[in-house]
Chain A
Amino acid sequence: MNDIPATGDFLALGLGVILIVLGGFVASLYLRFRNLAKDEALIEQLADED
């Protein structure tokens, strides 16, 4: 009877890559939202000063 190949490390690597790509995309969305909020606050501050 054949043993099942030990390929669990590759599964873990694959799941890690999925989490990194999805997490990276979500993090990039968060950072872009945050930068926009900062820009918007600065623009409104400048508009008020004018």
Chain B
Amino acid sequence: MSTVGGSHLSDQPAAADRSQRLYALTVIAAVAFVVTLLMALFYAGTDSMQGLVQKIFYPHVASFFGAFAAFGAAVAGGIQYLRTRQPRWDALALAGVEVGLALAIINLATGSIWARPIWNTWWTWDPRLTSAAVMALTYAAYLMIRGGIENPETRRRFASVYGILAFGTVIFTTIIIRIRPDTIHPAVIGASPQNAEGGFAMSDTMGVTFAVSVLVWIFLITPALMWWRIRLENASERVAHKRARLLSE
């Protein structure tokens, strides 16, 4: 089969098709992101107790769901890599961790900003906040340790196992407001813990805005960012192969 620049000629129409889909998804995700912000600002009502800062709730929670989906994809990628040893699954896992970490940082930062006027502090070592911070640090460590392993096969195998185990911190962060009654973090779905501070009654417009935000972050923003990151990893692999071939000549 003929090849040009390392890619098969017969793959080029499929690659062009994939590129078009990625560009379309990116544009749709960007527009949908702006729409969710506009809905939060102008469609959803303003909470009379918290004021405008309550609107940070929509991207705050939605970014956590997006991170959850991305870290979940990292688990799927890790399992598939360990089964098949195909690097594309490792690229999926890496993309999941990197995007998930970015979204987890958004979740942490927006939560801290919301907490300042509502809890009168930027940060407190509450069980939920602490577990969210541990989760983010666990995935930051994934990237740091992964970057320090030279052998590609060892790196991918290690990262797969780490990515699967690290998902325990995501599950723990998700359920901790159900199992630790002393947390002051309010629950979004279902009854808040007894000591929760900063909860609010969700009106219909708030509920619609919340649902749309979560769907957009899970199904548009997260996949678009992950797809670009996978594409970057594939390009990186291609350049590494070319470099190795040049050095071996």
A25 surroundings in chain B (CB, below 8 A):
99, 102, 225
When C-beta atoms are compared, the residue in chain B nearest to A21 turns out to be B106
Within 8 Å CB of A21, what residues of B? 102, 105-106, 109
Question: How many of chain B's residues touch chain A, expressed as a range?
Answer: 35 or more
Dominant SS at the B interface?
helix
A36, B249: Cβ atoms closer than 8 Å = no
* Residue-wise interface mask of A (17-30) relative to B, using a CB-CB cutoff of 8 A (1 in contact, 0 not): 11001100110010
Does B48 contact A2, Cβ atoms closer than 8 Å? Answer: yes
Rounded to whole angstroms, the CA-CA distance of A33 and B228 in the bound complex is 10
A10 touches B106 (CB 8 A): no
- Inter-chain CA distance A39–B229, complex, in Å, is 18
In order of increasing CB-CB distance, the 8 nearest A-B pairs are A7-B53, A7-B51, A5-B51, A14-B56, A8-B52, A10-B53, A14-B113, A11-B52
Q: Which residues of A in the span 24-46 have a Cβ within 8 Å of any Cβ on B?
A: 25-26, 29, 32-33, 36, 39-40, 43-44, 46
* Contact pattern, B 18-62, Cβ under 8 Å of A = 1, otherwise 0: 000000000000000000010000000010111111111001100
Decide yes or no: A7 and B232 within 8 Å by CB, A21-B105, A21-B109 being known contacts: no
Chain A residues touching B, range: 20 to 34
Using an 8 Å CB-CB cutoff, how does the interface string of B223-249 with A read, 1 for contact, 0 for none? 001001100100110110011011001
User: Across the interface, do B239 and A40 meet the contact criterion of CB distance under 8 Å?
Assistant: yes
Inter-subunit contact A36/B110 (CB<8 Å): no
Contact flags B42-84 to A (C-beta < 8 A → 1, else 0): 0000101111111110011001000000000000000000000
The answer on a CB contact under 8 Å between A4 and B48 is yes
Task: Judge whether B102 and A22 touch: CB under 8 Å.
Answer: yes
Q: Is B110 in contact with A7, judged by CB distance below 8 angstroms?
A: no
Given the complex of chains A and B, what is the CA–CA distance between A8 and B246 in angstroms? 57
CA–CA, A15 and B109, complex, Å: 10
**CB atoms of A10 and B113 under 8 A apart:** yes
Q: How far is the CA of A5 from the CA of B198 in the complex (A)?
A: 13
* B114 interface residue (CB < 8 Å to A): yes
Q: Is B180 in contact with chain A by the CB < 8 A criterion?
A: no
> Is B181 close to A, CB under 8 A?
no
Picked from B37, B110, B228, B249, the residue with its CB within 8 Å of the CB of A17 is: B110
Contact pick for A33, options B49, B50, B53, B232, CB 8 Å = B232
Chain A residues whose C-beta falls within 8 Å of the C-beta of B246 in the assembled complex: 43, 46-47, 50
Cβ–Cβ contact B49 & A36, under 8 A: no
Measured between beta carbons, the chain B residues less than 8 angstroms from A26 are 225
Contacts of A47 in B (CB 8 A): 242, 245-246, 249
* B33 to chain A: closest residue by CB: A22
